Amino acid sequence: MRAPARHPAVNAEIRAAALSYEERCPGLGARFVEEVQSVVRAIGNAPLRYAVRFADVRRANLTRFPFAVWFVEAEGAVYVLGVLHHKRDYRPVLERRHPME
């Protein structure tokens, strides 16, 4: 399967979180980015493995960080809507970004 496409805001979310982790502990930001990339690759390989959380939006949790990769899958294509902290009110953000809306 092709690499998942991303909403334009996703890269900024990843950078902001990585910078925050890097300020706390040098090297932690890079580990965050690596884990996000690993999860996005896993999503690309098997998107239906992850549960639907609402409508057709699915979530893949990061293991070492309190973040999730939110995405939709349709007709073999995957679109990442956000990389959001677990405490963030995700639903309004993701509904605004949904490509099918």
CATH number of residue 48's parent domain: 3.30.2310.20
pLDDT given for residue 43 in this prediction: 96
Confidence class of residue 101 from pLDDT cuts 50, 70 and 90?
A: very low
pLDDT given for residue 76 in this prediction: 81
End-to-end CA distance of the chain: 24
Amino acid at 52: V
Structural domains of the chain, count:
1
* E-strand stretches of the chain: 5-6, 52-54, 57-61, 67-74, 77-85
The single-letter DSSP state of residue 47 is G
Q: What is the spatial distance between Cα 31 and Cα 52, in angstroms, rounded to a whole number?
A: 27
The range of the structural domain enclosing residue 25 comes to 5-97
Q: What phi-psi label fits residue 90: left (phi over 0), alpha (psi between -120 and 50 degrees) or beta?
A: alpha
Residues 23-75 have pLDDT tens digits of: 999 999 999 999 999 999 999 999 999 999 988 999 999 999 999 999 999 88
